[in-house]
Structure 1
Amino acid sequence: MLDDFLVRAALAGVGLSLATGPLGAFVVWRRMAYFGDATAHAAILGVALALATGLPIVAGTLVVAAAMAVTVAGLAARGWAMDTTLGVLAHSALAFGLVAVSYFPSVRTDLSSYLFGDILAVTRGDLGLIWGGAVAVAVLLLWRWQALLTSTLNEDLAHASGLNPDRERLVLVLAMALTVAVSLKVVGALLIAAMLIIPAAAARGLARSPEGMALGATLIGALATLAGLRLSLWQDTPAGPSIIVAAAACFVVAAVLGRVRRA
């Protein structure tokens, strides 16, 4: 029989994959990898805000991550050079967050759990929050799927179809902010972008349709979670980074299989 904390950890990771799979597909299609980094790094500043105001950690993280996401989306719509702007915002938010958290001595020793996650410490309450947030993101993306896909493929076509690409971009960034907020305890602020990108990138070489890629990314994310937890238990390695290592291994396997199939 598995220990109770391992079951909760596995359920948390699988639940998170419901959000990171389809959302990660859009991140890859839209080349928003650095955008995800900026939103995730802002989560540490959200932790400091929550500690300063007495808010729950998830609430503080969600507020700051959403503010960062909306700010970046607004700058992108105005034609700012996104690579430089995202670099400034991402690293500044992380640095401000780390400095702000240092004013709370009780958190200093536990800062690694916010940076790299602590999936093995997930409680039943955390599990409900993770699954609730992940299901909300998945339902939102399913509801706006066709509009998001059209806006991603061709903004001119989206305008001709009566869609507003800026609104669809806002849907994506808010979904990303919610995903970052609920995933902070699972893989941490520094690794959530990897959980968004790597499974989706692995699924891209094997999928034959956008829906297939989103489903494949979800399955690969769930598989990476289970394999990473097994690796952590076997080798006594950090659970969050072990999950990303397993996801990277899935990417390599998928890349090889994709080349063989094309050949």
Structure 2
Amino acid sequence: MLDSFLIRAALAGVGVALAAAPLGCFVVWRRMAYFGDATAHAAILGVALSLAFSMSVFVGALVVALAMAGLVSSLSNRGYAMDTLLGVLAHSALAFGLVAASFLTGVRLDLMAYLFGDILAVSRTDVMVIWGGAALVLALLSWRWSALLTATLNTDLAYASGIDPRREQLVLTVALAVVVAVAIKVVGALLIGAMLVVPAAAARPLARTPESMAIIAAVIGAASALGGLAAAFRFDTPTGPTIVCVAAVCFAVTAVFGGVRRAA
């Protein structure tokens, strides 16, 4: 079954959606969209370093994404405004990654594939890595779901319940780094933030509980991946951006539905 590149692409897209969408709910609830972008942009530097030292791209992207997340958390406690800090680090990491990639010699690097994704080029190994990463993220979120929700809703309530919000922030940081590492080949560094935020935002008008929002976001994300793959194949468009376009259409539809339901 995995001999078909379309089957591999579909499995990769669904795997990324299942990992990114539930995590994206926490990104939306915590207003961490820029944090996701900064982590994703840093992954380009990880790709360049991993190729320079002949390491796995997944490992390089994961390590640099974790380092970026740790740096943001550290500097945010030293008086820097979070939006300014994330803007500086996100663009700096992307620029350093692109410059580092230009110094690579004897290595074939398709920057467009890592910036915008190349889901049609995923291998069997890539599919296994993506689904392994998705399983890890889902297991992590399931394990810490109640504590993460409490820390997201109210830090004082979290402390009163014996929950350390900083520990839960670390859990989200690790999960986000894993998602970035597995998604970079599917939708690319510039579009990972969209796959985190757009399906979750589209699910919001349809959901009545946090759990239902996570499930609906996963369904929308998977449908966007499959729909975008089919549309790209049909109209010969870039696959990664097409997947995000389908997710954006889903968001527009649910936003209209939510507005109609509120007015009724």
After TM superposition, is the score higher than 0.5? yes
Q: How far apart are the structure 1 equivalents of 2:244 and 2:68?
A: 24
Whether the 8 Å contact between 1:73 and 1:169 is mirrored in structure 2 is no
**C-alpha displacement at 1:80, in angstroms?**
3.0
Runs of 4+, deviation exceeding 4 Å: 105-109
Work out whether 1:185 is the aligned partner of 2:185: yes
1:104 corresponding residue in structure 2: 104
1:253 corresponding residue in structure 2: 253
1:256 aligned partner, one-letter code: V
Q: How far apart are the structure 2 equivalents of 1:234 and 1:2?
A: 21
Work out whether 1:16 is the aligned partner of 2:25: no
Q: How far apart are the structure 2 equivalents of 1:70 and 1:13?
A: 28
Whether the 8 Å contact between 1:21 and 1:214 is mirrored in structure 2 is yes
Q: How far apart are the structure 1 equivalents of 2:119 and 2:249?
A: 20
1:194 corresponding residue in structure 2: 194
**C-alpha displacement at 1:2, in angstroms?**
11
Q: How far apart are the structure 2 equivalents of 1:3 and 1:60?
A: 27
**C-alpha displacement at 1:73, in angstroms?**
2.1
1:242 corresponding residue in structure 2: 242
Q: 1:67 to 1:246 in 2, by over 3 A?
A: same
TM-score of the superposed pair, with normalisation by structure 2: 0.96
Residues 30-179 of structure 1: pairs in structure 2 closer than 5 A:
30-78=30-78, 80-105=80-105, 110-179=110-179
Q: 1:204 to 1:104 in 2, by over 3 A?
A: same
Q: How far apart are the structure 2 equivalents of 1:197 and 1:17?
A: 11
3-state SS of paired residue (1:205): helix
1:9 aligned partner, one-letter code: A
3-state SS of paired residue (1:144): helix
Q: How far apart are the structure 1 equivalents of 2:240 and 2:118?
A: 7
**C-alpha displacement at 1:139, in angstroms?**
0.6
What is the alpha-carbon root mean square deviation over aligned residues? 1.6
In the comparison of the two structures, how many residue pairs are matched? 263
2:231 corresponding residue in structure 1: 231
Q: How far apart are the structure 2 equivalents of 1:184 and 1:106?
A: 22
2:70 aligned partner, one-letter code: V
Q: 1:169 to 1:2 in 2, by over 3 A?
A: closer
Q: How far apart are the structure 1 equivalents of 2:154 and 2:76?
A: 16
Quick one: percent identity of the two aligned structures? 67
TM-score of the superposed pair, with normalisation by structure 1: 0.96
3-state SS of paired residue (1:129): helix
Q: 1:107 to 1:198 in 2, by over 3 A?
A: farther
CA deviations on 1:157-185 (whole Å, 9 max, x unpaired) are: 00000110001001101110011001111
